[in-house]
Amino acid sequence: MKLKETFVFFVVKWANHEVTQSRHKVSQSFIYFAELEVENMIEPFNDEYFMKKAFAEALQAFEEGEIPVGAVVVSKGKIIARAHNLTETLNDVTAHAEMQAITAAANLLGGKYLNDCTLYVTLEPCVMCAGALAWAQIGKIVYGASDEKRGYQRLATKAPHPKTEIVGGILETECRELMLEFFKTKR
């Protein structure tokens, strides 16, 4: 048994033991927490896992002198597209990470709609990208840092597709600090 598995095993064993021994002395919330921990350890392919992959793309953008925003598209638990901001390289204001990711994912799937896909992006999408993601009918959007100036939430709350599930704030600190670091070097 690996170290991680051993730990999980003992957490479960201990939690069960406590419940049977002291008859609900251990609060249900703790048991829930323990189960949550176990779930996270067994299933590493969670939002944080894929956001780290998007973050790696953002780092790549940083190294290329691009505003560090990265994205990945996940379908059925697999990454089918990776992209980062290329506005400087391509001299194209529309070359945001999300736009690249939508095109790459649709090419790979051979269809324009991304209903079964989740897009992970390190920064809250702008109005253009939220609109493009709506056209693609993306199933879910997970973003890292909020964008108070250009984010769709401030400028166009209805831009995303009404059926798209949206989660924000995953690895928020890391994603935000990377942006701040980038603009510090530009000053």
- Judged by the rule CB under 5 A, the positions of this chain that interact with Zn ion are 96, 126, 128-129
Q: Least CB distance from residue 181 to Zn ion, whole Å?
A: 20
98 is catalytic: yes
Identify the H or E element spanning 177.
Answer: helix 172-186
Residue 122 CB coordination number (10 Å): 31
Which of residues 119 and 170 has its CB atom nearest to Zn ion in the complex? Answer: 119
Q: Using CB atoms, what's the residue nearest to Zn ion? A: 129
Least separation in angstroms between CB 69 and Zn ion? 8
**What residues contact 181, with CB distance under 8 A and at least 6 apart?**
62
Check the annotation: does 96 bind a ligand. Answer: yes
Smallest separation, CB 126 to Zn ion (Å): 3
Is 129 known as a binding-site position? yes
Q: From the candidates 57, 66, 98, 124, give the one annotated as an active-site residue.
A: 98
Pairing of strands 70-75, 117-123: antiparallel
- The SS3 assignment for 104 reads helix
Q: Residue 79 half-sphere exposure, CB side, CA atoms within 13 Å?
A: 18
Please check if 117 is assigned to a binding site. no
Catalytic residue numbers, as ranges: 98
